[in-house]
Amino acid sequence: MVEVSTSILNVKKGEESATFFELEAAKTDYFHIDVMDGKFVEKDTYKKMFEYASYIKRISNLPLDVHLMVQDIDETIEEFLSLEPNIITFHLEACKDKKDVMKKIKHIKQNNCKVGIAIKPNTKIEEIYEFLPYIHMCLVMTVEPGKGGQTFLNEMVNKIDQLNKYIQEKNLETDIEVDGGINLKTAPEVKKAGANILVAGTAILMANRFEEIIKELKK
């Protein structure tokens, strides 16, 4: 089954209430919350994303899929745990070492939350292998993290395929999420390669009818 996680990064202030309402009616499976700190990536979306996520938490039963593009992961985890998200994903590149990665995984799980690890386009897929048995999801970035509306990097299809094969081979249950430049053109190839959660911001928010595009992406 393929699920859709709608990135609310570029939802304009003042339009959030109507947009979230409509996205829920259109059956998005998750709300994808892009937390940026101005350090790990240039932009700082921390306040806006915390505000939006808190609001969604109050008005919706749909799960929050929190993507942390931050350097100070531990501090941010604490804040976002207060919103009881379904899953918190942090970047492998922002961790000190392997011990640090395991510590973060354990901490999030101890707080009754699922864990994901994200990798940037230049990070080798092999680097995630040893953590796969302990996490729920691997987020393969299909653009450089930092902003919405970028072009999908075609080279990432092989990476997804390789990860999917490894997961099957090892009999793991890990979800594969893809994020960046996902639209009706790029969705078929990432699904074919094995991705089962598609993040989309621009493609959904710019569409005339959310319901139709979400349905198409899931097909």
What tokens were used for 79?
């804040």
What tokens were used for 177?
């999420």
Strands (E), the chain: 3-7, 30-36, 64-69, 87-91, 114-119, 137-141, 175-179, 197-200
Binding partner of 63, given ligand DX5, Zn ion, none, CB within 5-8 angstroms per partner class: none
**3 scored as a contact of Zn ion (CB under 5 A):** no
Q: Taking each helix axis as running N to C, give the angle between helix 46-59 and helix 16-25, from 0 to 180 degrees, rounded to the nearest 10.
A: 50
Closest contact distance (angstroms) between CB of 168 and ligand DX5 is: 26
- Measured from each CB, the residue nearest to Zn ion is 67
Task: Show the binding pattern over residues 36-75: x = contacts ligand DX5 (CB under 6 A), - = does not.
Answer: -------------------------------x--------
Closest contact distance (angstroms) between CB of 8 and ligand DX5 is: 9
Q: Is 34 a catalytic residue?
A: yes
Between the CA of residue 45 and those of 57, 69, 127, 130, 134, what are the distances in Å? 18, 10, 28, 31, 29
Q: Identify the residue among 90, 201, 207, 217 touching ligand DX5 (CB under 6 A).
A: 201
Q: β-strand 197-200 against 3-7: which pairing, if any?
A: parallel
Residues in the chain: 219
Binding partner of 121, given Zn ion, ligand DX5, none, CB within 5-8 angstroms per partner class: none
Rounded CA gap, 4 and 139, in Å? 13
Contact range with Zn ion by CB under 5 A, out of 32-40, 109-117, 124-132, 166-174:
32-40
Active site residues: 34, 179
Interacting residues toward Zn ion by CB under 5 A: 34, 67, 179
